[in-house]
Chains A and B, each alone.
Chain A
């Protein structure tokens, strides 16, 4: 490994100043960055450790009822947070899928997002909840939808010198629920062959008023399954409806064949996982109460 400088700024302003240098790289959990550096896949002149900056590590309630997750907060911290576990259980559940417990104790959701892997476990549930990302850089601060932020494998809308500061989860709608499921050959310590997150919101009459289906590992980025979502609108939840949405999601998927699975296999998984994720939404208390 080539030598590098290490800085650990205490404020966001100092971190942005440190990121201006050539070859500066942000460090959150380090569970991807450190192996990349050791294997010589990244040449870095300066590591900017973000873990002493309150905006990056805290989990705080926004004035409008939103929840703001610091981008460098560990997956364990997020999963164990009472508000996340209570109001956004699919996000907590997703954070518990990233690597081992040892990895979850370090790895951040911001890192999971910025790596921009098609299989990123934290991302589909966050998109289902219409999460946005707050970004800070030399030109100031901006906010954009997480869905638009991830552009291609390994590529996001972060400009050089910019930092992902936090992830904003809007307030949860009444009569709504989300779930994320993935398929891995091993139960733990594995990467999704395919994954599906679903979110449904019912109207007062028990029909689907809004729905989102977000697929993982079946396209270059986590992707919405638009025809599956359309199929759900205005319908009463049922196994048949979910199976039909699953088949449409399989058609929406754009999988490749690789060492983890063939494109056909991934499509079949997408159909099953989507239907099951929808059924899990339906089993959640807010939906059960609306249907009762």
Chain B
């Protein structure tokens, strides 16, 4: 069964026809064409599909597309204007916080949710915030360093 879904994605209103079986991740990737959010495990364990729904980090694979009406969704594509990097992305580049990169979109959005609510986190806060994001290249130390650096940049008035 197909039903129309209207939601805001990266600041733009979208109305698309979704199958009842679509997850939010399917809606974003297949119906809207935003392929930055990745599917890893498909059951909420790996976190690579993490997006922000009304500001909260959510596994897009664990939400039906039909639960999206009226929600404000932010994906990795929505963090910075085309061609620019958000300070969290910039810090990951500078600290070598990406290896294969598959977990990176989810890590960035978990970090964004953390820093929006807690601009001055401890490394423990950072590790807790990304505990639901699995990096199989095991680059966690550099990822944590990058998020701490991004927090400092944002606190200092970086965009």
Q: Which A residues fall within an 8 A CB radius of B?
A: 1, 3-6, 8, 27, 29-31, 34-35, 38-39, 47, 49, 51, 76, 99-103, 105-106, 187-189
Contacts and interface: CB of A to CB of B under 8 A. Distances in A.
Interface residues of B, number: 30
Interface string B103-145: 0000000100100000000000000110111000000000000
Given A100-B132, A106-B59, A1 B21 contact: yes
A38 to B, nearest CB: 7
Contact of A51 (B43, B67, B113, B133): B67
Interface stretch (B9-17, B44-52, B84-92, B151-159): B44-52
Contact of A6 (B1, B42, B129, B131): B1
A1 B53 CA distance: 24
B149 interface: no
Contact of A47 (B47, B57, B64): B64
- What does DSSP make chain A's interface, helix, strand, loop or mixed? loop
Contacts of B113: 101
Contact of A102 (B20, B23, B42, B59): B59
Contacts of B61: 34
Q: Which 6 A-B pairs have the closest CB atoms?
A: A100-B132, A188-B131, A35-B43, A105-B56, A102-B59, A102-B132
Contacts of B21: 1, 3-4
Given A100-B131, A189-B132, A106 B63 contact: yes
Contact of A5 (B1, B64, B110, B131): B1
Nearest to B106: A102
Given A188-B128, A189-B131, A103 B62 contact: yes
Contacts of A30: 62-64, 67
Contacts of A100: 44, 47, 59, 131-133
A49 B66 CA distance: 10
A102 B64 contact: no
Nearest to B3: A6
Nearest to A39: B43
B27 interface: no
B58 interface: yes
Interface in B35-83: 42-45, 47, 50, 53, 56-59, 61-64, 66-67
A215 to B, nearest CB: 25
Nearest to B43: A35
A99 B41 CA distance: 15
Contact of B57 (A29, A35, A51, A105): A105
B46 to A, nearest CB: 10
B44 A103 contact: yes
Nearest to B114: A101
15 contacts: A1-B21, A4-B21, A5-B20, A30-B62, A38-B43, A100-B131, A102-B62, A103-B59, A103-B62, A105-B56, A106-B58, A187-B131, A188-B132, A189-B131, A189-B132
B121 to A, nearest CB: 13
Which of A29, A39, A47, A102 has the most chain B CB atoms inside 10 A of its CB? A102
A102 B128 contact: no
Nearest to A38: B42
A103 B133 CA distance: 11
A187 B131 CA distance: 9
Contact of A35 (B20, B62, B132): B62
Contact of A34 (B53, B63, B133): B63
Contact of B20 (A4, A38, A76, A106): A4
